[in-house]
Structure 1
Amino acid sequence: MTEQGETVSAAVPEGASGTEPVTGAAGESRWLRWGLLADGLFKILVGAAYLLLLPLVSRELGAPGWLVLVAAVLVLLSGLAEALFALHRDPRRHIRYLIAYDSGWALVTVFCLLLALAGFGGGGLAGSAWLAVQALGSAVLAAVFLAGIHRGTRLTPRSAADSSSRPGR
């Protein structure tokens, strides 16, 4: 409120109610942020499930327990990094990394499933390969999102004074 008792509100274009759906880059960014957050939370749940069901996962995939543990921790950490990134940064520049990870995961899953169905899964080869690729991919994805949190585009733009006061920016 102003000194005269008038209410001040955010600028809304004439004829608009302020409740219209957000379109363009801002709307796209919002949906990407929700998608990244949901994907990150899903990875956290998957990592936690691997940890809780470690003996079962190890037995069913024929993989050593240490590999299930490593994959579980790295999947959980990559989910946490992704969720944190989604909460603090504009996701548009980093979505390609998530697409690459998820596409690679799907291809490796199909490949390992075909290996197992063809009889090459004996001794846990297919399950171990599947977990190893998840662990490696999750480590890379976590590093990308953590680096993005540190150096990426903020949700709210910096002022010119902020950016000029930091060296190297």
Structure 2
Amino acid sequence: MLDDRDRKILAALQEDAGLSVADLAEQVALSLSACSRRIQKLEDAGYVARRIAVLDRGRMGVPTTVYALVKTVHHSDDWIELFRKVIADIPEIVEAHRLTGHYDYILKLVLPRVEHYDVIYKQLVRKVELFDVSASISMETLKAGLSVPVNYAE
């Protein structure tokens, strides 16, 4: 069972996974050793899936975001596994979700420029049969992040 300090630790780690244990302990009003034990407990329990560095997309040369909505007539396990493998091999596809509703999947792509979408589109359709692909270009990011709410964890 998580308490408020555990939630504060998780929230702080989401903001900056490189935060020193000493700084984190000070933020949550714990001793260094108590904070370290709690972090280890949270990691061992699976609350922390991994620690990563979030790179600046502009500096990395991929400032453009395109969302591709995909329809397929195929829903077999074999087709889905092939689709998973194909999109896993295309680094510009950074997220993929299976959907309810009119479209079957949505893909989030990060690209150097809009015109590069055609390169990725061709890679995708050469390797897996799709019924329809419709793309939308993000004009502005209003909210972005990797953090999840910590108040629902038990």
Name the TM tier (shorter chain).
under 0.3
Larger radius of gyration: 1
TM-score, with length taken from structure 2: 0.23
Please give the TM-score of this superposition, normalised by the length of structure 1: 0.22
Instruction: Flag the structure with higher strand content.
Output: 2
